[in-house]
């Protein structure tokens, strides 16, 4: 069975999520091609050719794809998909925006957010905010899958290099046009792949307090900062901090939840964390049912104490 992986990148490096998608595909495919679409991406293609599990790299390099829009990528991928039995992307914003469009163009079903591979047609995926795992079978001629990056190890580099092939670009569909990109610059690790995450809830009370309490602890632990949806909705933290069912799904070694209630939708995004630490002044807070270590205390005092102890 041959599988096409759609690479996600920033024109400099392949995202770790793509490495996880390769690991997932490798579990049910005889060959795995990596498709890199972008502009001036020859160095990126060489990176891809060194990834364990990749049989061949296919590159579409054109100025049109310097800032590609999903409306242009989808027909391009739909055109190539018939050469494959499966097309896989990571279940990131990029993949979630792209693959349903490909599925619609091909008039095929897709399976989203796959967390386990049973065989080439059968997969596990969470339902009801992660409370149940569904085993689903997809008999489509071409399987279209988004896979949850935290459920699969990132494939490593290897010494051997796979062949690189160039494919032709396709004229823009003219449906959407890139105008500008606004990127929040941060020296912190990326939330979805961070080894440690420190998250705050609505209990922080303001954006200033959120920064004052959460940031120093995150700095000490070289952690990414996260937030509950309630904290984001209240304007205490930016959107990209949101962890959970409708935010980023994380699986760090250590997740510290500060003043977080532990609502189902938040837990859906953290329950694969190796160790969960919760600080909450309510001993009955739901988060304690998930925490490996729980501290029933006022967060404003205990986070300071924790920081001092770390010093």
Ligand X SMILES: Cc1cc2nc3c(=O)[nH]c(=O)nc-3n(C[C@H](O)[C@H](O)[C@H](O)COP(=O)(O)OP(=O)(O)OC[C@H]3O[C@@H](n4cnc5c(N)ncnc54)[C@H](O)[C@@H]3O)c2cc1C
Q: Is 259 in the site for ligand X (CB under 6 A)?
A: yes
167 or 297: CB nearest ligand X: 297
Report the residue from 90, 225, 280, 303 that binds ligand X according to the rule CB under 6 A.
280
Q: Is 144 in the site for ligand X (CB under 6 A)?
A: no
Extended beta strands in 106-253, E state: 111-114, 116-119, 122-127, 132-137, 143-147, 164-166, 196-200, 224-227
Given a contact cutoff of 8 angstroms between Cβ atoms, the answer to whether 58 and 81 are in contact is: no
Question: Exposure pattern of 263-282 as b/e (b: 16+ CB <10 Å)?
Answer: beebbbbbbbbeebbbbbee
Binders of ligand X: how many residues, by CB under 6 A?
A: 28
154 or 278: CB nearest ligand X: 278
Letters for 213-232 (x = contact with ligand X by CB under 6 A, - = none) are: ---------------xxxx-
Tokens encoding 102: 């490909």
Which of 235, 237, 233 is CA-nearest to residue 258?
237
Letters for 235-254 (x = contact with ligand X by CB under 6 A, - = none) are: -------xxxxxx-------
Q: Which residue is nearest to ligand X (CB)?
A: 244
Given a contact cutoff of 8 angstroms between Cβ atoms, the answer to whether 106 and 24 are in contact is: no
70 is known to lie in a ligand binding site: no
Q: Which residues pair with 227 in a beta bridge?
A: 200, 242
Helices 93-106 + 70-81 axis angle, to 10: 50
29 or 261: CB nearest ligand X: 261
Report the residue from 27, 80, 263, 290 that binds ligand X according to the rule CB under 6 A.
263
Least separation in angstroms between residue 158's CB and ligand X is: 36
Q: Is 150 in the site for ligand X (CB under 6 A)?
A: no
Residues in region 156-215 near ligand X by CB under 6 A: 201-203
Tokens encoding 45: 């293609």
Tokens encoding 132: 């149940």
Least separation in angstroms between residue 181's CB and ligand X is: 24
Report the residue from 282, 289, 304, 310 that binds ligand X according to the rule CB under 6 A.
282
261 is known to lie in a ligand binding site: yes
280 is known to lie in a ligand binding site: yes
- Element holding 163 (H helix, E strand): none
Least separation in angstroms between residue 217's CB and ligand X is: 14
Q: Is 260 in the site for ligand X (CB under 6 A)?
A: yes
Quick one: 41 exposed, middle or buried, by C-beta within 10 A (0-12, 13-18, 19+)? buried
Tokens encoding 262: 């532990």
259 is known to lie in a ligand binding site: yes
| Measured distance CA(234)–CA(225) in Å, rounded | 16
80 or 263: CB nearest ligand X: 263
Q: Which residues pair with 276 in a beta bridge?
A: 255
Q: Is 18 in the site for ligand X (CB under 6 A)?
A: no
Q: Is 305 in the site for ligand X (CB under 6 A)?
A: no
Q: Is 285 in the site for ligand X (CB under 6 A)?
A: yes
Helices 207-220 + 299-310 axis angle, to 10: 20
Least separation in angstroms between residue 239's CB and ligand X is: 11
Q: Is 148 in the site for ligand X (CB under 6 A)?
A: no
Residue with tokens 């001629």: 141
Contacts to ligand X by CB under 6 A:
201-203, 228-231, 242-247, 259-261, 263, 265-266, 269, 279-282, 285, 298-300
């Amino acid at each position: 069975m041959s599988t096409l992986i759609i690479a996600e990148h920033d024109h400099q490096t392949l995202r770790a999520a793509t490495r996880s998608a390769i690991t997932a595909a490798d579990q049910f495919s005889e060959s795995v091609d990596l498709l890199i679409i972008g502009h001036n991406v020859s160095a990126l293609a060489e990176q891809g050719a060194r990834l364990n599990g990749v049989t061949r790299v296919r590159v579409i390099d054109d100025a049109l794809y310097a800032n590609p829009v999903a409306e242009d990528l989808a027909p391009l991928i739909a055109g190539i998909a018939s050469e494959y039995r499966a097309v896989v992307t990571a279940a990131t914003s990029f993949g979630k925006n792209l693959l349903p469009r490909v599925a619609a163009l091909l008039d095929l079903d897709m399976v989203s957010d796959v967390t386990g591979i049973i065989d080439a047609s059968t997969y596990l995926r969470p339902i009801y905010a992660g409370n149940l795992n569904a085993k689903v079978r997809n008999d489509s001629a071409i399987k279209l899958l988004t896979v949850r990056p935290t459920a699969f190890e990132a494939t490593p580099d290897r010494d051997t290099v796979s062949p690189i092939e160039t494919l032709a670009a396709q004229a823009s569909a003219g449906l959407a046009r890139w105008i500008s990109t606004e990127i929040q610059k941060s020296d912190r690790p990326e939330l979805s792949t961070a080894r440690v995450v420190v998250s705050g809830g609505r209990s922080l009370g303001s954006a200033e307090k959120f920064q004052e309490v959460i940031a120093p602890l995150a700095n000490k632990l070289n952690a990414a900062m996260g937030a509950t949806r309630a904290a984001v909705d209240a304007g205490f933290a930016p959107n990209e901090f949101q962890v959970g069912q409708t935010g980023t799904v994380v699986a760090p070694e250590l997740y510290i939840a500060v003043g977080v209630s532990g609502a189902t939708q938040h837990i859906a995004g953290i329950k694969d964390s190796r160790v969960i630490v919760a600080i909450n002044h309510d001993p009955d807070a739901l988060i304690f049912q998930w925490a490996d270590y729980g501290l029933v205390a006022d967060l404003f005092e205990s986070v300071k104490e924790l920081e001092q102890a770390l010093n």
